Amino acid sequence: MIHARQLRKAYRDGADEVRVLNGLDLDVRAGEFVAVVGPSGSGKSTLLHVLGGLDASYAGEVEVAGVRLNELNDVALARFRNRQVGFVFQSFHLIASLSALDNVLLPAFFDVEAVAGPRRKRAEDVLARVGLIEKKNRVPAQLSGGERQRTAIARALFAEPKLLLCDEPTGNLDETTGGEVIELFRELHRDGLTILVVTHEDRMSTAAQRVLRLTGGVLRPSGGEGR
């Protein structure tokens, strides 16, 4: 599902160059649930953005779901993000003025092939899948933290992506709510979805099949963690 070779990316911090990805290699099989752990600022989110086609300024080669991201222009990358991957962020990133249903429908706004009737049905289905169909017309401010994250997960699932990329998905949730979200990821994984989570939380990484540690800009297996 994911093949990354010799990924390199550096930031300029004043006069210094900070290498967050330094020849990173990664292989994730289809249907795998992988957690990437590491300290803050180690480049976990950057790796996620590169793999999701959200950040195109890097060196190296990335192939996701059979698509070589290096060869895509902006429009093709947008289409890739729309169809092949779903993002889940720590801060949910819902649009405050839109209802839960419209937030879930957001990817359809940018899909020229989406048809109004079926896409609404699909949005309601994924909201039902995450247990929020009763609250579909509520705006994010009327939802709890866990409900917001489940709405964000529903949005990520809307286009039936092959890969779910999650950036600290339980970071803003209490233990109970975070546990519910982790359980939801487990269910999705059982249904065959490939999931890559970056996290620094043990409870999240223990849910994954495989745990990798990002240090010094490269990934290494993390012993003693994962299922």
Partner 1 sequence: MKASSLRRLVLLSLARDWKGAAFSAFGVAIGIGALVFFISLGLGVGRVVQQKVFPVEATLVDVVPPSISIGILGGAKLDQSTVDRLSKLGDVAQVYRKMNVRIPAASRYDGPFFGSHLRMAIEVLAVGVDAGLVRKDVLLGDFSDPGAERPIPAIASTRLLEIYNKTFAPPRNLPQLSPNLVVGFTLPVQFNRTFVGGATSGPVVEAQVQIVGVSERALLAGITIPLEAAIRLNRIGNADAQTFSGVTLVARDPSGVPRIVDRVRGMGLQIDDQERRLAQNAGAAVMITTSAMALLSMLICFLAAVNIAHALFASVRARAREIGIMRAVGAARRDIRSLILAEAGVVGLVGGFAGTIGAVALATGVDRLSASQLPNFPFKPDTFFSHDWRIFAGGVALGVIAALAGAFLPSRHAAAMNPARTVAD
- What is the contact surface with partner 1 in residues (CB under 8 A)? 45-46, 49, 52, 54-55, 74-75, 77-79, 81-83, 87, 89-91, 93-95, 97-98, 102, 106-112, 114, 116, 155, 159, 167-168, 171
| DSSP H helix total and E strand total for the chain | 7, 10
Interatomic CA distance for residues 151 and 149, integer angstroms: 5
What's the closest the beta carbon of residue 75 comes to partner 1, in angstroms? 5
Interatomic CA distance for residues 44 and 127, integer angstroms: 28
Element (H, E) at 18: strand 16-28
What's the closest the beta carbon of residue 221 comes to partner 1, in angstroms? 26
State which residue, 129 or 210, has the beta carbon closest to partner 1.
129
State which residue, 83 or 186, has the beta carbon closest to partner 1.
83
Interatomic CA distance for residues 10 and 197, integer angstroms: 22
The tokens 């209490």 sit on which residue? Answer: 174
State which residue, 109 or 220, has the beta carbon closest to partner 1.
109
State which residue, 15 or 116, has the beta carbon closest to partner 1.
116
What's the closest the beta carbon of residue 209 comes to partner 1, in angstroms? 25
State which residue, 109 or 187, has the beta carbon closest to partner 1.
109
State which residue, 1 or 108, has the beta carbon closest to partner 1.
108
What's the closest the beta carbon of residue 224 comes to partner 1, in angstroms? 27
How would DSSP label each residue in 105-172? HHHHHT-TT--HHHHHHHHHHHHHHTT-GGGTT--GGGS-HHHHHHHHHHHHHHT--SEEEEESTTTT
What's the closest the beta carbon of residue 227 comes to partner 1, in angstroms? 26
Element (H, E) at 44: helix 44-51
What's the closest the beta carbon of residue 96 comes to partner 1, in angstroms? 8
Interatomic CA distance for residues 164 and 81, integer angstroms: 11
